[in-house]
Structure 1
Amino acid sequence: MSADRSVLRQAIERGERDGGAIEFKERLNREVHLVDGRKESLAAQLRHRVLSGDGEATYVIGVTDDGGLAGIAPECFSETMDVLSLLAEEADAHIHDVDTWGVSRDDAMDDRRSIEETAAPDEPGRVAHENGADRGLVGIATIREGAVLETDDTHVVIGTAGHVDHGKSTLVGSLVTGQADDGQGGTRGFLDVQPHEIERGLSADLSYAVYGFEDEDPVRMDNPHRKQDRARIVEEADRLVSFVDTVGHEPWLRTTIRGLVGQRIDYGLLVVAADDGPTRTTREHLGILLAMELPTIVAVTKTDLVSEDRIEEVTREIESLLRDVDRTPLPVDRHGVEAAIDEIGESVVPIVETSAVTGAGLETLDTLFGSLPKRSLPDREEFRMYIDRTYDVKGVGAVASGTVNSGAVETGDELLVGPMNDGSFREVDVRSIEMHYHRVDRATAGRIVGIALKGIPESALERGMVLLPRTADPDPVREFEAEVMVLNHPTRIRSGYEPVVHLETASEAAEFTPEDGRLLPGDTGRTRVRFKFRPYLVEEGQRFVFREGSSKGVGTVTGVDGLSDPPPADD
């Protein structure tokens, strides 16, 4: 039996005791358990269990009072979690974690051995889709004392970029753990987080690393592979710093663009290896960072591998590269970290010499990330979140993850999601919100979150859609006007040019119609942009990147038209 299933077996064998921390519940529903004084009684019972367990209680769901495995339908399990969450809130507690297993309903009532590990080996806690109608769910909810995390507006998000093998992930791994690298990229392994490792699909994997600060002292992870360690950072730190990953290989520049354009990023961190120096990919990534008007820091990595002369040579190359794009380099070793904090902006780029092996420069980066202010967010008070990824989670349902663009969202909020292919929006409700494996009641602008939604299947959600309040009156578009700058193109751009446009989290083929009939490399001009396949919610002032083959450019939306005509019937 796997360790995961043994937890369930042990909880059932220990059983309910008057003074114990374990409670059996077959199911909970709103109509029965939240009315006529039942809510207060059940909340008191939950509080008793938590106190009996020194701040932690275990609720076994889908079992009878004597511990028999009843198994309940996924929708019933989901409702039970909603009710349990409300009871925990009433008792000044919160649901810290949930694990689920599939059981055969034919055997469950009288055979505890019927617990089956239906999840794949690398997906603990998930129930496979192929369970079929004859299977139900049992689960364990861990309840902990204290309200859910109260978020604030100091969470800084860093977008990382740089050529492959220049030490980007290794550097970040050493930052978030405080551990020196072994010279073989060992700390990089801490950051190999895949979507299937997200417990219950609710913790957005957009941020592939996080650490924080309590006062001025770093709060680091012991082992980023443990979701509890990430949750601890969120709970303990006064200030959070998240890193959004990008891909260093040239063929995956589209993924890099998505990572930098689609998230509410505050600063860019561009890495350049001291042994290799700036490459074409370095220039590409720098161009995107600066085009998106992101204040950027350049980290010279792997300084332990080269001589001082080589470090100086690479630094001069970086300074020259920055001056070529009208930016002022600021080597921190010469001018000090306080100057970097004061001067960093759209025109000044600090340069920090680092080594993940010796630890050189890491304290300087800590000081920068612990001091840099959160960048200003949109003035719009209305909640908005562009969807970056979606998940279908048994017992939970559809989950949309992304960065809160503006406003705030709370559990229970009534929202709209869309646009669909025909430009319409669908009504949904917020079931729950999680951030870095930690359940929260509320998320504000700049937060990277996963939102579980009621009222829509995951199959109807797509990246590039947006979540809005139910009271919003969105007007999706197929076409918009833009001012663009061509960074590079082998020839001139004419009417009919069809690049992929990366705007917020949308990545869609579009047709350009330049105002003057053409655009040359290095040109800035106006063009009409028409999405080829579906509408999106676009507004004036949004920045975007476009790419097709070796051609690349950036633009700003200057005018928006409503949905001018329906999409083709076969969309």
Structure 2
Amino acid sequence: MKYRLAEGGGEAFYVIGITDEGEPLGLPQDEAEYSLKALEKVAEVIGAKLQILRRRKGKKGIIYEVLVRLSREDSPPVYVNVASLGNVDAGKSTLVGVLCTGQLDDGEGLTMRSIARYLHEIESGRTSSVSTHLLGYDSKGNVVNYDIVNPLDESQVYLSSSKVIIFVDLGGHERYLRTTLRGVMSRIPDYVMLVIGANSGLSVMGREHLGIAIALKIPVFAVMTKIDMVHEDIVERSLEELKKILKMPGISKLPFEVKDYDDVVVAAK
């Protein structure tokens, strides 16, 4: 387990009830519970904690999918760097602000203004610089930002978290492309969050940012915003357009659409 945690940067997935060949047979309830307790004891010895992600039925019994994470008391938090890319006005800063503060936007840029660095960004509503914002989770997977006085206080988020997602908020306008490139290259992100506005789809700069991520071999996940502003048909059309682009030669990615919690667990692996 120590090796797997070190390999995974402080986290590891375990599946109880799978054969060596990967067949999801499952275990009887008592055996599954016994295996889970044994795994928990091993985790305690090395200073880690368990979180059950899913409990589902196999062919012959119960299957547990478990996340093992080093506890905050014995080690610094696990870090994940996520660069926010996408076209201007796609809602990148607003999305990061909502995630980090837990407060919904008012439709007039309130959340964006709360995380903007400069006056001209507040006035124009467009990000032109590179900024970072922390989203912390405790050992049970709960967001810590929402329980502190200032959810954007990085020191408090750090001290209270077992895992920290560092959002790198970047500009989407072509005028700031060089600054955006500098932000991506200097932060060495683990993932790129490609933000796409449902009202405009994947525009020219959005495709440019996607190309940058592909060229740098950074894993990409896409988030579609503003789906409440347009009809469902337009949302579906934008999704199909994105999937088509991802399958094009030179990109050759297999799109996986996340619709529920089970899909989140599968994607996280």
Matches within 5 A, 1:449-460: none
Match of 1:139 in 2: none
Q: What is the aligned partner in structure 2 of residue 294 from structure 1?
A: 218
2:145 maps to 220
Runs of at least 4 residues off by over 2 Å? 149-153, 205-208, 221-225
Q: Deviation at 1:255?
A: 0.9
CA 1:150–1:245 in structure 2 vs 1: closer, same or farther (change >3 Å)? farther
Contact 2:91/2:195 (8 A) holds in 1: yes
Secondary structure of the structure 2 residue equivalent to 1:169:
helix
- Choose from 153, 173, 192 the match for 2:97: 173
Residue 191 of structure 1: CA displacement? 1.3
What is the Cα-based RMSD across aligned positions, in Å? 2.3
Q: Which residue of 2 aligns with 1:338?
A: 265
Q: Secondary structure at the match of 1:171?
A: helix
Flag structure 1 segments of 5+ consecutive residues without an equivalent: 1-148, 195-204, 343-571
Q: What are the equivalent positions in structure 2 for 1:100-111 lying under 5 Å apart?
A: none
The residue matched to 2:223 in structure 1 has which SS?
strand
Quote the offset at 1:309 in angstroms: 1.2
Query: 1-side partners of 2:145 and 2:77: how far apart?
Result: 20
Q: CA deviation at 1:266?
A: 0.9
Match for residue 209 of structure 1 among 133, 141, 146 = 133
Paired position in structure 2 for 1:281: 205
Deviation, structure 1 residue 190: 1.8
Give the Cα separation in 2 of the matches to 1:153 and 1:234: 7
For residue 24 of structure 2, what is the aligned residue in structure 1? none
Distance apart, 1:224 and its partner CA: 5.2
TM-score of the pair, normalised by structure 1? 0.30
Partners of 1:176 and 1:163 lie apart in 2 by 21
CA apart distance, 1:150: 8.3
Gap regions ≥5 residues in structure 2? 1-72, 119-128
Q: Deviations over 1:103-147 (max 9, x none)?
A: xxxxxxxxxxxxxxxxxxxxxxxxxxxxxxxxxxxxxxxxxxxxx
- In the TM superposition, residue 206 of structure 1 has moved relative to its aligned partner by 5.6
Q: Distance in 2 between matches of 1:290 and 1:242?
A: 20
Aligned-residue offset at 1:208: 2.2
Cα displacement (A) at 1:341: 1.4
> TM-score scaled by structure 2?
0.63
User: 1:206 and 1:250, CA in 2 relative to 1: closer, same or farther beyond 3 A?
Assistant: closer
Q: Distance in 2 between matches of 1:167 and 1:236?
A: 28
User: What's the counterpart of residue 200 of structure 1?
Assistant: none
CA distance in 1, matches of 2:82, 2:168: 6
Deviation at 1:249, TM superposition (A): 0.4
* Residues 7-53 of structure 1: per-residue CA shift (max 9 Å, x gap): xxxxxxxxxxxxxxxxxxxxxxxxxxxxxxxxxxxxxxxxxxxxxxx
Query: What is residue 243 of structure 1 aligned with on the other side?
Result: 167
Tell me the distance in 1 between the aligned counterparts of 2:239 and 2:230: 13
Greater mean deviation of Cα atoms: 301-310 or 281-290: 301-310
Decide whether the 8 Å contact of 2:132 with 2:166 is kept in 1. yes
Q: Which amino acid aligns with 1:260?
A: V
Q: Deviations over 1:393-431 (max 9, x none)?
A: xxxxxxxxxxxxxxxxxxxxxxxxxxxxxxxxxxxxxxx
For residues 413-424 of structure 1, the aligned pairs below 5 Å read none
2:88 maps to 1:161: no
- Does residue 1:328 correspond to 2:254, yes or no? yes
Aligned residues: 182
The one-letter amino acid of 1:329's match is P
Separation of aligned partners in 1, 2:115 and 2:210 = 23
Q: SS at the partner of 1:303?
A: coil
Task: State which of 176, 196, 199 in structure 2 corresponds to 1:272.
Answer: 196
Task: Give percent identity, aligned residues only.
Answer: 36
Inter-partner Cα distance in structure 2 for 1:336 and 1:224: 28
SS of the residue corresponding to residue 336 of structure 1 reads helix
The residue identity in structure 2 corresponding to 1:219 is: V
| CA positional deviation for 1:339 | 2.1
Distance 1:321 1:217 in 2: 35
Distance 2:138 2:252 in 1: 37
CA distance in 2, matches of 1:281, 1:299: 15
Q: Which has the higher contact order (CA 8 A, sep 6+)?
A: 2
Structure 2 counterpart SS, 1:212: strand
